[in-house]
Amino acid sequence: MPKTAWGRKETIIWPRHMPIYTYTVAFGVAVLTYLAVCIRIHLATPLERYCLPAYERASAFGAVVKTHKSTYRLLFVGRPQSTPSPAMNDEVILGRTEDAGGQAIPLALSTEARERGYTLLFRAPERSYVDARFSVYLRGVVYKGTSLLGFFQPPIFGGVILFLVTVPLAAFKDVQRQKQLKYGRRLKGPEMLTPHQFNKTVKGDGVGFKTNDMKSSRRVR
């Protein structure tokens, strides 16, 4: 005699009790924010991109310990019989310049700098600077008064706003999913609905019925 199997067959749903929609939104927003940060760096001037690691380090250490010191190598431009001066944004472009230390500088003198008579682009020897003061120097000379947070503000704030807008929808979907895991979902058969839910499902404007004593049908909305 064949064995009778009672009940319904279990459906494997993975992961069972994790807010997967919220996690997906968080991961997606993080990826988009990272791409936006990369685009922000790409749109910066060549000198801003070159000085960004030093600006990040000086700003981080300077915010924690005001007297902390680190070593940096400033970028200078020079011309014959003249004192070298710190490089400015309009004086360098993307390129390659051989440095005396053997490491190439990923920048070159711009046309404007050569018209001013500059012929040298070089890194000064390492010197120790107070990070807080060095950060202020880079902010004023290289980043035109923009703080490190202000430099990354558009992509970061955009990512935060995108997350705040999308996470409620993701949380709603996760709640619906948890209810399905707990109570199951209807696959077929009758379903109990309110008049409003029925009208919405069938795209109607009411439920009509007619009796033998009535000439016209009555409609319940």
Note the pLDDT tens digit of each residue in 121-170. 999 999 999 999 999 999 999 999 999 999 999 999 999 999 999 999 99
Name the domain count of the chain: 3
Same domain, 80 and 93: yes
Is there a domain that residue 131 lies in?
Answer: no
Answer for the pair 116, 84: CB distance below 8 angstroms, yes or no.
no
Q: Are residues 16 and 64 in the same domain?
A: yes
| 17 in a structural domain | yes
- Residue 208 and residue 102 in one domain: no
Distance CA 156, CA 158 (A): 5
Least confident interval from 2-6, 85-89, 200-204: 2-6
How many Å separate Cα 88 from the centre of its chain? 30
Q: Which amino acid is at 52?
A: L
Residue numbers of the domain that contains 113: 74-125
Region 209-215 average pLDDT? 60
The answer to whether residue 160 sits within a structural domain is: yes
Residues 142, 177: one domain?
yes
201 confidence band (pLDDT: 50, 70, 90): confident
Q: How confident is the model at residue 216 (pLDDT cuts 50, 70, 90)?
A: low
Residue 140 lies in a domain: yes
- 147 plus 118 within the same structural domain: no
Confidence class for position 76, pLDDT limits 50, 70, 90: very high
Instruction: Determine which of 112-116, 124-128, 201-205, 211-215 has the lowest per-residue pLDDT on average.
Output: 211-215
- In the beta sheet, which residues pair with residue 207? 220
Location of structure tokens 């016209």: 216
* Cα–Cα distance for residue pair 185/179, rounded to 1 Å: 9
Would the pLDDT of 210 be above 80?
Answer: no
User: Do residues 65 and 18 share a domain?
Assistant: yes
Q: Which of 142, 144, 83, 94 is nearest to 117 (CA)?
A: 83
Q: Is the separation of the CB atoms in 201 and 213 below 8 Å?
A: no
18 and 58 share one domain: yes
Q: Hey, which of 33-37, 185-189, 190-194, 214-218 has the most confident mean pLDDT?
A: 33-37
